[in-house]
Amino acid sequence: MLVLVAPGQGAQTPGFLTPWLDLPGAEDRLREWSSAIDLDLVHYGTNADADEIRDTAVAQPLLVAAGLLSFHALGLDAVPGAVAGHSVGEITAAAFAGVLDDTAALRLVRARGLAMADAAAVTETGMAALLGGEPDVVLPHLEKLGLTPANVNGAGQIVAAGTAAQLAALAEDKPEGTRRVVPLKVAGAFHTHHMAPAVAALELAAKDLAPADPKTAYVSNRDGQVVTGGAEVISRLVGQVANPVRWDLCMETFKELGVTGLVELCPGGTLTGLAKRALPGVPTVALKTPDDLDAARTLVADTATG
């Protein structure tokens, strides 16, 4: 069974969309989406620097657009067995599953990015990945420092979120067994109570949506469960901005569903890295550039016939 996944914020790098725009129709598609959400995705995906694309209001639509662009380039002949996205990648996955069309997904993520950027501006906050360490040691340590385990990613990785002062304390006082604490390229404490103001804004943006039920298994960040109703997918997308991402549980569900291949859409790498550790033996492909498309198509074909 093939699983398609979409990465979250922090996966973007300067110029990462440049090679994708050489594909037939790709630049036209990106310009059309840019017009629909009043954001120059071509500029931000090709010429913008790291600081420009770190801006939450830019990064989130850019990542969804990248995932959709690579999805269309992949040209699947059949619906995948399951889809999921990490954080903002959940909106990309909702489009993969047919819950939203491309334009609706991009309009929703544009509203999400703006709302979360506003919420992040209230207090200086951020996120940091803890590499290594056991959850039963790491989680109480984060609680002691006032930090939230905003992403429980499995495979020895938990992402802490909180104020700048709390993150500085974590850098000085790592939990026992943690190898490194790595600051992330995000502008706020996402998936924590700091994002509560964004929920109301996103609820308003979601009112005009007409979601369809997923065409395939849509695996939710909230609890790793498969969601079968379109309205429930949207409800979870709205609430998830202020609640932890349980990617560990998503990967457990992939295993239970019988995953035999996993493709991470552009800009791939982070989620395939986690899958290699949590789902040993499952072939993976990360779409970083169009050069990776042939390998992904081979894996899709192998999964369909395996």
Question: Which residue reads 């924590």 in tokens?
Answer: 192
Q: Phi and psi (nearest 5°) for 296?
A: -65, -40
Indicate which residue of 86, 141, 191, 194 is catalytic. Answer: 191
CA distance 14 to 9: 13
Contact criterion met (CB below 8 Å) for 4 and 265 = yes
How many other C-beta atoms can be found within 10 angstroms of the C-beta atom of residue 98?
17
CA distance 303 to 53: 35
Task: Give me the amino acid identity at 169.
Answer: A
Token duo for residue 84: 């999921």
Instruction: Decide if 72 is catalytic.
Output: no
CA distance 235 to 233: 6
Instruction: Decide if 87 is catalytic.
Output: yes
Indicate which residue of 87, 141, 194, 220 is catalytic. Answer: 87
Contact criterion met (CB below 8 Å) for 227 and 220 = yes
Question: Which residue reads 């949506």 in tokens?
Answer: 209
Question: Which residue reads 């954001």 in tokens?
Answer: 39
Q: How far apart, in Å, are the Cα atoms of 156 and each of 119, 179, 301?
A: 29, 10, 31
Token duo for residue 42: 């071509």
If phi > 0 it is left, if psi is from -120 to 50 it is alpha, else beta; for residue 106 that is: alpha
CA distance 93 to 262: 14
Contact criterion met (CB below 8 Å) for 66 and 283 = no
Instruction: Indicate which residues carry an active-site annotation.
Output: 87, 191
